[in-house]
Amino acid sequence: MRIILHVDMNSYFATAEQQANPYLRGKPICIAGKGSGERTVCAALSVEAKKFGLKSGVSVWEARYACPDIQIVPTDYAKYQFISRQVFTILEQFTPLVEIFSIDEAFLDLSGLVKNIEEAKLISHQIKAEIKTKIGDYLTCSIGVSYNKLLAKLASEKQKPDGLTVIDKSNLADILANTPIEDVCGIGPRLSKKLHLLGINTMQELGETDLARLAHFFTPRLGALLKMMGQGKDNSLVLPYYEYPPEKSFGHSYTLPKNIFKPQEARQVLLKLAEKVGRRMRRAKVMARTIHIYIRFFDFSGFSEQFTLNYFINDGLKIYEIGLQIIQKHHLNKPIRALSISATNLKPVKEVSQSLLAEDTLEEKVVKAADIINNRYGEFTLFRASLTKIKDKIENIPDGRNKRLM
């Protein structure tokens, strides 16, 4: 019998801060990435803050309006990643089949390791106890237990914080009948809106909808997938990190705390983003031929363009230079709100012919030396002098958009 667990850390960023700082415990707190400016949003909220009706994604000013006593705490991604690795190490003690779904979520496949749901519940309690004992008693998780990933994740959402919910044959029909389609992982706002237009509001209604009708309004493939989801069926496997498919792109985007008016400031931010992209690529031992740029202006207009080289790169400066060439073809005559740069068309470093030119070899040595120093002492311990003025302003840009942490 197939048995899957979904482990979801509760209010993760907030409880991680409360675990680290006893002063914050029991208080409403908002984890915000860019200080307390008007554009700052709450990346996470503590359980105490959620009691005021607040949800992740609200602006800081909205949070303060609803809860004047709320504490604004800056994000600390290094701390969250460090704790996450500890959590995932604990999970791997129970099964080697652990799929990291995000920084605070993971699936575990217990098939063949337990005989029934009751044994899976026992392991769930052991996981909770291990996290509290080895990491901290202020960190809690909600665990869902079921026959597949879809239902296990749905179960973990049913009881928070510190919940344990089982979906099995005894309650599956009731769950399907009473679960709105918006609560299903994989059905986002756009898709749910279309389903509502078809008169489909619950999982049960989705599962009972004629397949031909779904295929007509969507595609045969998506229609078949939606019907299976409505019936609570999911055949996807739990994939440990060593079975993940390779990434197809590396990129970073950044919404500025304030609009940028000077092209020089935009170039500095672009360089910082390009350096982060290059560093992630070198860590993954890949190179890219295609660089993509997106810029959004203050009025939400913008442009998107890419350029493909006849050679491969993974040096942040070279990525930046290609991005700059793209930007310079456009007139940046409006204040800039957000920038994005990404690299695609990837190839493993070992499959790329390396340059034998002395200047290229010297640059590679400099970049390699910088990576060694930054790996040991932290991101941007060593950085280009042109980034000096903006280093502190955008140092909290996350290190990667990929959810997996290994």
Nearest to 84 by CA among 18, 11, 16: 16
- Report how far apart, in Å, the C-alpha atoms of 139 and of each of 92, 261, 334, 375 are: 18, 43, 45, 28
Residue 73 lies in a domain: yes
* Predicted confidence (pLDDT) at residue 374 exceeds the cutoff of 70: no
Give residue 315's pLDDT. 87
Q: Kind of pairing, strands 336-348 and 286-297?
A: antiparallel
Chain position carrying tokens 């898709």: 191
Query: Same domain, yes or no, for 288 and 331?
Result: yes
Residue 157 lies in a domain: yes
Average pLDDT, the chain: 85
Query: Same domain, yes or no, for 285 and 369?
Result: yes
Q: Which residue would you say has higher pLDDT here, 349 or 359?
A: 349
Boundaries of domain holding 200: 173-230
pLDDT tens by residue, 291-349: 999 998 888 788 889 999 998 998 888 899 999 999 888 877 889 988 999 999 898 98
Query: Same domain, yes or no, for 36 and 59?
Result: yes
Average pLDDT rounded to a whole number, residues 66-95: 91
pLDDT tens by residue, 33-75: 655 555 678 889 999 999 999 988 888 888 999 999 999 998 8
Query: Same domain, yes or no, for 128 and 10?
Result: yes
Structural domain count, the chain: 3
Which tokens belong to 375? 């790996």
Residue 239 lies in a domain: no
Residue 140 lies in a domain: yes
Query: Same domain, yes or no, for 301 and 364?
Result: yes
Query: Same domain, yes or no, for 161 and 206?
Result: no
Give residue 236's pLDDT. 92
* Predicted confidence (pLDDT) at residue 397 exceeds the cutoff of 80: no
Residue 403 lies in a domain: no
Give residue 164's pLDDT. 97
- Range with the lowest mean pLDDT among 50-59, 160-169, 391-400? 391-400
105 labelled catalytic: yes
* Whole-number percent of the chain with pLDDT over 90: 54
Give residue 355's pLDDT. 54
Task: State the Cα–Cα distance between residues 254 and 398, nearest whole angstrom.
Answer: 9
Task: State the Cα–Cα distance between residues 386 and 381, nearest whole angstrom.
Answer: 14
Task: State the Cα–Cα distance between residues 161 and 130, nearest whole angstrom.
Answer: 17
- Report how far apart, in Å, the C-alpha atoms of 328 and of each of 189, 191, 293, 321 are: 36, 38, 11, 10
Query: Same domain, yes or no, for 159 and 212?
Result: no
Give residue 301's pLDDT. 83
Contacts (Cβ under 8 Å, ≥6 apart) of 246 = 286, 346
Spatial contact of 159 and 142, defined as CB atoms under 8 Å apart:
yes
Could you say which DSSP state residue 263 is in?
A: H
Give residue 358's pLDDT. 47
- We report the CATH number of the domain holding residue 222 as 1.10.150.20
pLDDT tens by residue, 207-249: 999 999 999 999 999 999 999 999 999 999 998 866 666 678 8
Catalytic residue among 38, 105, 359, 363: 105
- Mean pLDDT highest for which of 153-167, 309-323, 345-359? 153-167
Query: Same domain, yes or no, for 151 and 179?
Result: no
- We report the CATH number of the domain holding residue 134 as 3.30.70.270
- Range with the lowest mean pLDDT among 7-16, 292-301, 363-372? 363-372
Query: Same domain, yes or no, for 295 and 217?
Result: no
The length of the chain is 406
Query: Same domain, yes or no, for 212 and 259?
Result: no
pLDDT tens by residue, 97-111: 999 998 999 999 999
What is the helix (H) or strand (E) element at residue 372, kind and residue range?
helix 358-377
Average pLDDT rounded to a whole number, residues 381-387: 53
In one-letter notation, the amino acid at residue 17 is E
Query: Same domain, yes or no, for 306 and 160?
Result: no
Torsion of Cα atoms, 277 then 281 then 284 then 287, to 10°: 160
